[in-house]
Structure formats: C-alpha cells, structure tokens
Structure 1
Amino acid sequence: MTSQSKPLGGHDGPYPVPVEITGFTVQPDWIDYNGHMNVGYYGVVFDLAFERLLVDHLGLGEPQVAALGQGPYILQSHLHFLREVREGEALVFRFRMLDADHKRGHYFAQMVSAEGGTVCATQEALFMNVSHTTGRSESYPDWAAARLARMVADHAGLEPAPQIGQPIGIRRS
C-alpha cells in the first residue's frame, strides 16, 4: 500500500449501514421516448451517487485524483432494472461495500424511490484504484485501504440482496 498519510476528506467511520446518498431527481433530458428514464442514465446517476459515497465518506474520487494522480475506475457493472423511473422522481441510493483489498472494491447499490421506498434498480460493481501516470492499478494509501476495510466490516451484517452475484442470461424452465 502507498503511504499518503493524510486523508483527503471523508471520515474513518463508523459508516451508516447502508450508506444513503440523497439529493437526486430524474431530469427531463434523462427521459426517453417510452416516457421513463433512459437505460443509459441509470448508469450515469449510479455513478454520480457513487462519487458522493467516495468523496463524502471515504475521501476518495475527485479529491484523490487531484492530490495523488490516482482514482477509482469501474471494471465491471451489472444493473438490474426493477421499476420504471419517471421525470421529476426523487431518488435515494443505498450503498453497501461487499469486499475490498489494497487496490479494489466491490459494492452493491440500490436506487430507491424517495416517495414510497420502492427499489427501482440495483447496481453491483467492481472498482480498482488506477494511477493516471501509468494507467495501471495502484495500491490505495493506507488510510483509504483501512476505510474501505472498515466499511466492509460495518456492512457485513446486512441481509444479502437477491440481485448480488446473479448471472445474466435467458432463464429457461
């Protein structure tokens, strides 16, 4: 692990179980010809919420790139679309960190309608810390790896969601 000794923001925990990220509303330009949020914008808004988790709780993301020249890259993402999302709908995101090591993290997130609490979509993703100089993976600073490990531990008791680890394919009976 690298030894950047000073955290760049965020906090050392304990972390909310799960972490809730609020303040998102479905924008008019996110709506497609079917009258609901276009599939591409699900990825966009999950990413915006993930950035808030990184910055506000872990001290990573954009401040990390500016200070250290490294940052998180999503390596794999799996979305489940469970309910249509309409223009003007307020959204809340619930994040749980499933696993982490010195370079990577694995999270699960739910997009929830702020009114009624219905889960509209989920995302499971794997991310890696990458050097902007080399374009290769790089260990997190010690403080960041410790925070990720703490978040994994804090979230370990959450009930597993049915979408975690699900394969993609046509189900046949």
Structure 2
Amino acid sequence: MSQETQPKSGHDGPYPAPVIVGGLTVDSGWIDYNGHMNVGYYGVAFDQALEAMLDDHLGLGETYVRTAGHGPYILQSHLHFTRELLEGAGYAIHYWLVDTDAKRLHYYAEMFAEEDGALCATQEVLVLNVSQTTGRSAPFPGWAQARLARMAAEHENPDLAARLGAPLGIRRNS
C-alpha cells in the first residue's frame, strides 16, 4: 500500500476548536469495586473517542491504516483524574491539537460529564505515525500534514499552556 494514498475519510477543515466527541456512555463492564469507572477505562474512553476524532476530522484513523498502511501510535500519555464517573453516565471529550510536525502530533483532551458539565479527567498525548510494513516512524502523507497544520493553527490557544506538561510528584508545603 502506498503511504501517499489519498484520504478516504475526514475533511480539510475548518476544524472546530475544540473538536468535541460526545454522546458517550460509561459501560457497565468499566465499573470497579469502588462503584465508579476504573482508572484503566479512562484510557479506553479517551482512545475510543480519539479514534472517532482522527477518522471523522483528520482521516487518520482505522480507514487510514487500512488504505495507507500507516497508523498513529501513542508514544506517551498523561492522565489526570478530577472526578469520578458512574455506570451509565454520559460524557463528552474535547480535543485540541497542540502541535504537529511531519511525523508526530501532540494533543490535549478534556473529559466532561454530560449531566452537569463537570471536568472528570484530562489527557495529554504524543502520537507518532508508524509504517505498518517496517514498524518504524514515517512522515504523514502530504494531505495529512496539511490537515494537521490547519487544525493546529485553528486550535492555537494560549490558555492551554498552563494545562500542558503537568509534573508528577508529591507536593510538600515547606
């Protein structure tokens, strides 16, 4: 398969800022013994919504992998939990594309409870485009680089800077 395959999904913009993937529901199988969504399923929830965003807007989801022989691989992910979600709760995820280059994209996402709009979790991720043939990084095709550049420009938001790259550690009062 040629990596320069023309896009089979997504669109060339404009892109809403943020891109919102809504109408999602906490699955009963995601509930742990504490009675709320298990920590691991927050990652699943973000990933499933990311797939929809990548395919519907950028054309870089499952359709891209099948037609171009390349796909997005998550290299690093940071999750922050701010409020629990219970079984059957509705939620939406908001995505901002923070940065991109020929092979990578950096996004930030927030998960909101549909019931009251409360922030439940955030995720910051670095994604790499990988050839399914070689298993190595490869540049996105030209059409994808153009879409990513446009989305990054349309998502530029100085207010996000304070939310990115949060350190992990025990904070002590002196």
Task: Name the TM-score, length of structure 2 as normaliser.
Answer: 0.95
Task: Name the residue aligned to 1:152.
Answer: 152
In terms of mean alpha carbon deviation, does 59-68 or 5-14 score higher?
5-14
Partners of 1:20 and 1:105 lie apart in 2 by 18
Aligned to 1:19: 19
Q: Look up the match of 1:98.
A: 98
RMSD: 1.4
Q: Does 1:39 align with 2:34?
A: no
3-state SS in 2 of match to 1:64: helix
8 Å contact kept, 1:70–1:130: yes
Q: Kindly provide the CA deviation profile for residues 119-166 of structure 1, in whole angstroms up to 9, marking residues without a partner as x.
A: 100000000000011110000000001111111000103622643111
**Tell me, what secondary structure is at the counterpart of 2:105?**
strand
| TM-score, normalising length: structure 1 | 0.95
SS of structure 2 residue aligned to 1:88: coil
The structural deviation recorded for 1:66 is 0.4
Task: Name the CA shift for 1:36/1:142 in 2 (closer, same or farther; >3 Å).
Answer: same
CA distance in 2 between partners of 1:134 and 1:104 (Å): 17
Classify the secondary structure of the residue corresponding to 2:76. Answer: strand
Partner SS state of residue 64, structure 2:
helix
Counterpart for residue 165 of structure 2:
165
Specify every segment of 5 or more residues in structure 2 that has no aligned partner in the other structure, as ranges: none
List, as ranges, runs of 4+ consecutive aligned residues in structure 1 with deviation greater than 4 Å.
none
1:116 aligns with 2:116: yes
In the TM superposition, what whole-angstrom CA distance separates every residue of 1:48-80 from its partner, at most 9, and x where no partner exists? 000001000001111111001110000000000
Specify the alignment match of 1:64 in structure 2. 64
**Whole-Å Cα distance in 1 between the matches of residues 162 and 38 of structure 2?**
24
Deviation (angstroms), 1:3? 6.7
Deviation at 1:115, TM superposition (A): 1.6
In the TM superposition, residue 167 of structure 1 has moved relative to its aligned partner by 1.1
AA at the equivalent of 2:108: F
TM-superposition CA deviations, 1:88-118 (whole Å, max 9, x none): 1101000000000010000000010112111
SS at match of 1:9: coil
Q: Which amino acid aligns with 1:85?
A: L
Q: For residues 157 and 24 of structure 1, what CA distance do their matches in structure 2 show?
A: 25
